[in-house]
Every structure is written in C-alpha cells, then in structure tokens.
Amino acid sequence: MPKISTDTLWELAALEVRSRENGAGDEDTDQQDQSLHERTVFFTGSKSGGKTTILLRCLDRDEPPKPTLALEYTFGRRARGHNTPKDIAHFWELGGGTSLSDLAQIPINAQNVRAFSVVLVLDLSKPSSLWATQERLLQAARTQVERICSGPQKGADSRSSKQHDLIGIPRVLPTDHPDREIINPFPVPLLLIGSKFDIFQDFESEKRRVICKTLRFLAHYYGGSLIFTSSKSEGTMSKTKSFVSHLAFGTDRSKSMAIDPSKPLVVPAGMDSLSQIGSPPTTDIDIGSLHARNPLDLWKKVFERVFPPESTTERKQLKDPAKDLQYSEPLIDSMRAQKDQELDQYKRDATKSWKGLELET
C-alpha cells in the first residue's frame, strides 16, 4: 500500500473544508437522510400507568416490567432490507408521573429534536388525575422543544442553527380543514395512549363517553394520534405497537378509525374533527356560564366538573422522590432513618446545652 505524504493529507483536509463550505445545502440533506435512520421517542405519562409494559411489548422483549427509576434509556433496531443500514430508535422513559417533569430537558436536545416524538400514556382507570397529568407533562416537553427551536443556543455552531430553522409545526391537517385555525399542534409528533382499557370498560357509560370525547379533543387539538390499549389484550397491544413503530422506525401507520366509546379508540392524527367530536359532554352544566379563554380551557372546566382533580397536597408529596415507595431501598432507608433520629437527638441536646448557659452581663 503506497504511503500517503503529509502534504497530501493537508491537501485532502483543505479540500474537505472547501467542499463543506460550498455544499452546506448538501450537508443538511445528508443530515436529514441520516435522521430518517435514527429517531428518538420519549415515553411519559401517568405514574404506574403501564409505560414500561407498553414499551417492552413494542420492542418484543419478554421480560417482567420494573418500576422506572427517574429517567431510563433503551434502544431498538430494525433492518429495512438486506445490506442496508439498520434503523435505530432511542427510547427514553420518564418515571414518577408529573413529579419529575423537569427531567424532560435531558432527552430533548438540539441533536435529536428534528427526529423526536412524544408518547403520552394516560391511565384510564384514574380519570381524576388525567387532565393534570397531560397538562403538566406536555407543557414540560413543549417548553423544552420550543426553547431549542427558538433559535441558536449559546455556543451552538452554524450547523445546529440550521437544524433549528428546519424544524416546523407538524402539518397534520390540510390547508382547507375548518379546524386548522383552532387547533394548536404539538411541535413534534405526538401519540396519546389510554392504558388499562380492561378497567376502563367497566365504567358507567356516561363516564366513558366524557373521557373518550375529551381525549379525542385533546389528541385533535394537539394534532396527535390517540389509541386505547390494555396489556391483557393482544389485539389492542398489536395496534399500539404499530403506532409506536411508526414514530420509532417510520413504518406505515394504520388509517382505520374506531370511535365507539364502548370499544378501544383508534384515531390517527389528522383524521378527526371538532364536528365529529361534538361539544363538551355536559348534562347539568351550562356551558355559557363557564368563563373559558379558549376551547382547551372550556374542555378542561367541563372535564374537571365531572372528574374533580386530585388534592394539591397529594401532588406536592409526589414531588419528593425520596418519599416515593417505588424508589424504596430498605438498607439505605433504614440507615437514613437512623441518621435522622441521631440528628433530632443532637438538636435536642444542643438546645438543652444552650439553655443551661449563663450569659455574662
């Protein structure tokens, strides 16, 4: 093999620099092509709502789910064909419900936001916490995405700046759709999953109707897809896997709809409408008496009349992971309790010693 001279290496390096400077557009195209082979999916949602179970089933992993410790990462790969690069999907899962929503800034960054999507898992068996959960978690994710996309960050290179400029709101509705000016699409692809349908189907019909219509509105308002599932139903899990695979690997997504409240909902993004969903489900509530700033606020007020939100005291306790039973460590917790007792005893002894001192006058 002939030896390459130093001059030749410098010439090659200079040529590469000139090529990048002159072909910036081609470089962006190459990056876009590469992003098609590498995507990131962020799983978030209700505490103990079944996020890990759904993720494992979507990755065909036959292993028992474990409680998610704060923020966890895994990945999946899929071959498109023979002698072609494998598609890679990075999966991040946020545990703790809304208590750790600030951690959303970790998986969402300038390097992956152009091929990023969010999966929000909502526990249908706990409707009282449903609205607060989606509101808090989606706001945390939206804030981080918009912060990155608002412009070049401090210290970011020109390439990252160009990536930000290429990001736009997903076009989930055609330009002539009557709801186009009313909805507020999420800045990245979004999938809402209603979990534990096996429990939900035993609810009273009126409560099911309220939850179904509200989630259909939320999915449509955010420009996302909606599907109900249960870990005990292979049929619903298979459809859920199809939707997640679409986000993770770009596979074809089913376009069939199912909007019967007595059956698992399946609503692909862009296929619903406010006219099909109808007005907020009210029985003894006068909508005109509700002072709402926008359609989203109106649906929130109606939903929380039917399902009053959880007390703020309970939500404050969840903000401290050290008090969360799913993160318990018996040995560490017992040692911590012992140290707390020793500290309390020290404080009492110190107080007594101060009281016993005679101050000089």
Q: Tens of pLDDT along 107-158?
A: 999 988 999 999 999 999 999 999 999 999 999 999 999 998 886 544 444 4
Residue 302 exposed, middle or buried by CB count within 10 Å (0-12, 13-18, 19+): buried
Q: Tens of pLDDT along 19-73?
A: 666 654 444 444 444 556 789 999 999 999 999 999 999 998 888 888 888 899 9
Helix axes 130-149, 205-221, angle to 10 degrees: 10
Q: Percent of the chain, pLDDT > 70? A: 73
Q: What is the pLDDT of residue 342?
A: 82
Instruction: State the average pLDDT for the chain.
Output: 81
Q: What is the pLDDT of residue 80?
A: 74
Confidence of residue 317 (pLDDT cuts 50, 70, 90): very low
Instruction: Report residue 32 as tokens.
Output: 């876009």
Backbone angles phi, psi at 79, to 5 degrees: -90, 130
The CATH homologous superfamily to which domain 38-151+169-306 belongs is P-loop containing nucleotide triphosphate hydrolases (3.40.50.300)
Question: How far is CA 268 from its chain centroid?
Answer: 17
Instruction: Report residue 315 as tokens.
Output: 């939500």
Instruction: Report residue 30 as tokens.
Output: 């190459």
| Angle subtended at Cα 272 by Cα 150 and Cα 98, rounded to the nearest 5 degrees | 50
Q: How far is CA 316 from CA 52, 125, 144, 260, 310, in A?
A: 24, 21, 23, 36, 11
DSSP string of 118-149, one letter each residue: EEEEEETT-GGGHHHHHHHHHHHHHHHHHHHH
Backbone angles phi, psi at 71, to 5 degrees: -135, 125
Cα separation, 118 vs 359, whole angstroms:
65
Q: What is the pLDDT of residue 124?
A: 96
